[in-house]
Amino acid sequence: MREAIMPCYAPPAVLFKRGEGTYLIADNGDKYLDFTSGIAVNSLGHCHPHVVAALKNQADQLWHTSNMFRVEAAERLSERLAKLTFADVMFFANSGAEANECGLKAVRRYHYDNGDKKRTRIIGMTNSFHGRTIATVAASGNSGYCEGFIPNDYHFDQAEFGNIDSLKAAISDNTAGVILEPIQGEGGITVVDKDYLRQVRQLCDDNGILLMFDEVQCGVARSGYLYAYQALGVEPDVLTSAKGIGAGFPLAVCMANAKVGQHMVVGTHGSTFGGNPLATTVGNAVLDVVSEPEFLQAVSDKGDYLQSRLRELAERYPTIYGEVSGMGLMVGIKVTPTNGDMLVVLRDKYHVLVVKAGGNSLRFLPPLTVSKKEIDSLIESLAKVADEF
């Protein structure tokens, strides 16, 4: 019964009761191969024993204290992330949009504290997605997300993703920062061009502008690197991470270098739940697994395998499948029939779950623990669907 739930979503009738690895099991016992991971969330699959054990153990000890008090697991997670990334300081939140809110505030606050109070404008990219809060929809500027909610521009501008001239044209004396996804997810899987990204960094440095990466979807080993920027050779000033870091438990983090993070002092920002003992214990358990070099290598190998199998499929069915894109286990394929129609047949007839993305594409975001056999199984179903269309 969904009558008492706001009609923001339109889920199908199927009701999942359990999850095991790469599979979801419905109330009638049917098993579904899950290449969605709850949109890049269940990074270690459903009910990974290491994460379940950590959560159960913490649940018996302490759930919540608020940030009025020290949180041991949050301190440990922040130190580990600082060692593994460019960042010096972290702010823990509960969702990707919230982590982005923190990052956007930090970008503006940096200039404010440095006496450059006119620098309030932040440039977002076409086809981007940063969440559903007022500021994050304004940052992406996508009319579908903004309509009826954004009466003005909230000091956000947009530039064309991948086009350095468009970014140059959008920059003014009032620009505080630039936000982009190193691998765009919702807009269709698009990996940022390395040269373009280097030019973006240079342009920011030349103009005293901060650079913020949204790795809410592409972070936490999904790209085959702990964070995708590590493969792209450009460091941001601020980076946001969510989804996979909690593997299904609400946890997000806004990371910043000291130059920016030092301005987020007492009174500037806060969160009741952000970084609580349960969430950050889970985050540490996830990090135990995903930060191992062998794990990251396996994600890259399986991602390459998935992409090569999809390219074979596109050669075999050129009227159905088109361009394959992505990195690691964040992969998309353009399709000719309506992507939503294909998704429904895959789900209802073949019990394979995938995600739609912009540019009429299908998105594959399996648990990072997916096996090659499960990838083969996806490909078989995609071939059968192609025969039908």
Which residues contact ligand PLP by CB under 6 A?
Answer: 39, 95-97, 100, 129-131, 181, 185-186, 214, 216-217, 242
- Choose between 87 and 93: whose C-beta lies nearer to ligand PLP: 93
Residue type, 239: L
CB atoms within 10 A of CB 288: 14
Residue nearest to ligand PLP (CB): 96
Q: How far is the CB of 352 from ligand PLP (least distance, A)?
A: 21
- Choose between 109 and 132: whose C-beta lies nearer to ligand PLP: 132
Which residues 6+ apart lie within 8 Å of 356 measured at CB?
339, 340, 343, 362, 363
Q: How far is the CB of 88 from ligand PLP (least distance, A)?
A: 22
| Widest CA span in the chain | 63
Give the DSSP letter string of 43-99: TT-BT-HHHHHHHHHHHTT-----TTS--HHHHHHHHHHHHHSS-SEEEEESSHHHH
Q: How far is the CB of 140 from ligand PLP (least distance, A)?
A: 9
- Choose between 97 and 382: whose C-beta lies nearer to ligand PLP: 97
Q: Is 325 left (phi over 0), alpha (psi -120 to 50) or beta?
A: beta
- Choose between 119 and 244: whose C-beta lies nearer to ligand PLP: 244
- Choose between 34 and 214: whose C-beta lies nearer to ligand PLP: 214
- Choose between 251 and 386: whose C-beta lies nearer to ligand PLP: 251
User: Torsion angle, CA of 34/35/40/45, rounded to 10 degrees?
Assistant: 40
Q: How far is the CB of 132 from ligand PLP (least distance, A)?
A: 6
Q: How far is the CB of 98 from ligand PLP (least distance, A)?
A: 7
Residues in the chain: 389
Tokens of residue 129, six digits: 């997605």
Cα 183 off chain centre by:
9
Q: How far is the CB of 227 from ligand PLP (least distance, A)?
A: 13
